[in-house]
Structure 1
Amino acid sequence: MAIFKGAGVAIVTPFREDGSVNFDKLGELLEEQIAGGTDCIVITGTSGEAATLSEEEHSAVIRYTAKKVNGRIPVVAGTGSNCTETAVKLSRQAEEDGADGVLLVSPYYNKTTQEGLKVHFSDIANAIHIPAILYNIPSRTGMAINPETIVWLCRNVENIVGVKEASGNISSIATLAALGRDDVAIYSGDDDQVIPIMSLGGLGVISVLSNVAPRKVHDMCQAYLDGDVRKARDMQLDALPLIHALFCETNPIPVKEALNMMGKNVGGYRKPLVLMTEEHRELLRREMTNYGLLG
C-alpha cells in the first residue's frame, strides 16, 4: 500500500551559524509545509544533506520531525547507504524514532549488480516493520535500479511499496509502469516530470520545489488526481523556469538560497557544498520573483 498520494517535500535541514542543526527552524519549516497542504515529509534525504549528518544527528532529526508532525501526515526518512549493514541500522533506528516509512537510495560508489540490489533492499526491508520506498537516482549513485528489479522487489518483499524515480528517463519509467501496474507506487523525483509521470500512473512527487512553494505543488498534484489535467499541466509548465533555476547548481544549494531569499533563514551548507555563484543567484532571484515568491 502506498505511503501517500500527492506532494511530498524533500525537506532541507536548517543549520545554525556554527553548523549545528537548527531544530527550532526545522519545526517552523515543518509547520509551514503542513499548513501549505504538503502530503508527506521526506526527511534526511539528499535535500536534507544526510550525507554529512552524523548518525546521532540523523536520528535526532528524524525523531524531532516525527514528534513535531505527530501523525498529521506521514514522515518518511532517508536511511539508504552503500553498506547494507549501515542501511539496516539506520532504518531500524528510524523506525524506533517514529518514522512512518523509509527511503532507500541504491548503493553508490561500490555499486552492485541487479541481483545484489535485490539482496541489499530485501535485507533492509526485512529488518523493519514500516514500508520502504526505493530511490532510483543513477546520476548520483552511478547505477540504475532496472524496472524489472523494482517490480520484483515490490512483488516479493512485503513492505517495499514503490520507488522515487529520479532517473530522468521517461521511457524507463513507462516500462516500469507497464510492468508494475498496481504493484508499484511511483513518485516523481524530478520536479520537471511530475505530471508526465503521473500520466503513467504515478501517485505524486517527492519534491524540492515544495520547499519554497508547498501549496502550488500540492495543488498541481491534486488537480491531476481530481481529473483536471489541463490545470495540472499548466501548473507544471508555469513552474519550469523556477525548477530549472533550483537545479542550476547541486541540490540543495539553490533551494537553501531560495529559502534564505524568502527570509526563512535556514543557514548554509556543510562542505563540500559551497555558496552559489553570483550569476546563478541572480538567475534564481529573477525566477523566484517571476513565480510570485519574492516581491
Structure 2
Amino acid sequence: MCEIIVPVVTVFDENEKPDFEQNKKVIDFLVEGGVDGILVLGSTGEFTVLDYEDKLQFAKDYYDYTNGRVDLYFGSNCPSFEDTLNLSNEAIKIGYKGVMVVGPYYYGTDDEKMTIYYDKLAKNVDGNIYIYNFPDRSGYSISPEAYRKLVLDNKNIVGLKDSVMEPLHTNRLCRATENLGTKIYSGYDDQFLYNLSTGGSGCIGALSNLVPDIWSDLVKSTREKDFDRMFKLSGLIHKLMPLYDLDSNFAHLFKRLMAVRGVDISSKSTFPYDQLDEKVFEKGKKLLEKVIEEYQELK
C-alpha cells in the first residue's frame, strides 16, 4: 500500500495564531483532492511559533472539523521533552492516528542519545509514534541500526519520515527493518517511486498542498499498476520540485500559490519569513500553472 500524506500549511492571523476559519478551506481542498492523510503542524505547518496551548487547541479544532474524512497525524514537538510527551498523549486522546516527532535538535546528538529520547517517549505515549528524520534541521540523521532497535523494543514506533537528500539512507532503513511492519515515507516528493521500490510506504511531501489532485492520481495509478500514467504524473511532480528553492521559507510561497488553485487564504507566515519578492512569486506561479496545464492535458 502506498500513500500520500500532506504535511499541511498553517494559515495564521496577523498575531501568528491559527486562523481556523481559513484553515478549514485548506482542509476541504485537500480532502476533495483525495489525499490519504494530513500531518498537522509538521515543518511546513511552521510549528515552532506556537506555544503548547495553541497547539493543543489547534489539534482539537482540526480533528473536529475534519470529522473522519481523512486520516490525521499530529506534529507534537515542543521545546521540552515533557511538553512533547504530554502533547503527544493529548493528540492520541483526541483521535489522531499517530504523532510525528523530530529528535532533539540544536545541541549535538548521536545514536545513543537519540535512542534514549525516542525509547522513553515511546514507553510513555499511549499510541503510535512516527519518527521524523530531518538532518538539515536537527543536525543528525538516525542510523538504520538505531531505528531497528527502537522498532524492536517499542511496538508503538510504527513509522518514519525520511527527509534526506541521499535516498540510499531510506533504502538502508527499509533493509534494517524488513518484515517488521514499519512504514517508511520519503520526505521529498521526487523520491516517491524510489521509496516504493525499496520497500517504503509512500511520501509525506509538501507539494501535495498545491497539487493534491495530481498526487492522489499518482497514488491511484501506482496502486492500479498503470505504469504509463504513473511515470507521467511522477514527471509532473519532479517539475514542481524547484518551488522548494525559490525562497528560504517555502511555506509562505506555497500559501500564496494555493490561491492559484482557488484556495483563498492569507499567506501570513512566521516572522521573519513573511516577506516574498514578487518576482519570486511570479516565477513560482508560472511554473505551477504550466504543470497544471500539462496535467489537464493528461486527462
Same fold per superposition (TM over 0.5): yes
Deviates more, 1:111-120 or 1:51-60: 111-120
The whole-number CA distance in structure 2 between the counterparts of 1:77 and 1:210 is: 17
Q: Do residues 282 (structure 1) and 279 (structure 2) align? A: no
Structure 2 residue aligned with 1:88: 85
Instruction: Give TM-score scaled by structure 1 length.
Output: 0.92
Shift of 1:234: 2.2
- % identity of equivalent residues: 25
Structure 2 residue aligned with 1:41: 38
Q: Taking structure 1 as reference, are residues 230 and 126 closer, same or farther at Cα in structure 2, changes over 3 Å only?
A: farther
The whole-number CA distance in structure 2 between the counterparts of 1:226 and 1:154 is: 30
Kept after mapping to 2: 8 A contact 1:59/1:97: no
Q: Taking structure 1 as reference, are residues 18 and 176 closer, same or farther at Cα in structure 2, changes over 3 Å only?
A: closer
Q: Which runs of 5+ in 1 are unaligned?
A: none
Structure 2 residue aligned with 1:196: 194
Runs of 4+ in 1 over 6 A off after TM superposition: none
Q: 2:17 aligns with which of 20, 41, 51?
A: 20
Q: Do residues 52 (structure 1) and 49 (structure 2) align? A: yes
Deviates more, 1:103-112 or 1:159-168: 103-112
The whole-number CA distance in structure 2 between the counterparts of 1:280 and 1:75 is: 32
CA RMSD between the two structures: 2.1
Structure 2 residue aligned with 1:170: 167
The whole-number CA distance in structure 2 between the counterparts of 1:81 and 1:23 is: 21
Deviations 1:51-101 (A, max 9, x none): 001211111111111112222322100012453223212212222333221
Structure 2 residue aligned with 1:216: 214
The whole-number CA distance in structure 2 between the counterparts of 1:126 and 1:229 is: 42
The whole-number CA distance in structure 2 between the counterparts of 1:88 and 1:136 is: 18
Deviates more, 1:207-216 or 1:265-274: 265-274
Deviations 1:221-261 (A, max 9, x none): 23223323443222112222222214422231221121134
Structure 2 residue aligned with 1:75: 72
Kept after mapping to 2: 8 A contact 1:132/1:162: yes
The whole-number CA distance in structure 1 between the counterparts of 2:262 and 2:228 is: 33
Structure 1 residue aligned with 2:269: 269
Structure 2 residue aligned with 1:257: 256
Amino acid at match of 2:194: P
Structure 1 residue aligned with 2:114: 117
Kept after mapping to 1: 8 A contact 2:252/2:269: yes
Structure 1 residue aligned with 2:231: 233
Q: Secondary structure at the match of 1:168?
A: coil
Shift of 1:277: 2.2
The whole-number CA distance in structure 1 between the counterparts of 2:161 and 2:30 is: 20
Deviations 1:111-168 (A, max 9, x none): 4221111111122222222211111110111111112112221221110011001012
Deviations 1:194-233 (A, max 9, x none): 1111111111111211111112111212322332344322
The whole-number CA distance in structure 2 between the counterparts of 1:293 and 1:87 is: 43
Q: Taking structure 1 as reference, are residues 128 and 152 closer, same or farther at Cα in structure 2, changes over 3 Å only?
A: same
Shift of 1:269: 0.5
Q: Secondary structure at the match of 1:181?
A: coil
Q: Taking structure 1 as reference, are residues 292 and 195 closer, same or farther at Cα in structure 2, changes over 3 Å only?
A: same
Structure 1 residue aligned with 2:243: 245
Instruction: Give TM-score scaled by structure 2 length.
Output: 0.91
The whole-number CA distance in structure 2 between the counterparts of 1:79 and 1:45 is: 8
Q: Do residues 130 (structure 1) and 127 (structure 2) align? A: yes
The whole-number CA distance in structure 1 between the counterparts of 2:112 and 2:37 is: 31
The whole-number CA distance in structure 2 between the counterparts of 1:45 and 1:132 is: 14
Q: Secondary structure at the match of 1:252?
A: helix
- The count of aligned residue pairs is 292
Kept after mapping to 2: 8 A contact 1:106/1:145: no
Shift of 1:5: 4.2
Q: Taking structure 1 as reference, are residues 169 and 91 closer, same or farther at Cα in structure 2, changes over 3 Å only?
A: same
Q: Secondary structure at the match of 2:177?
A: helix
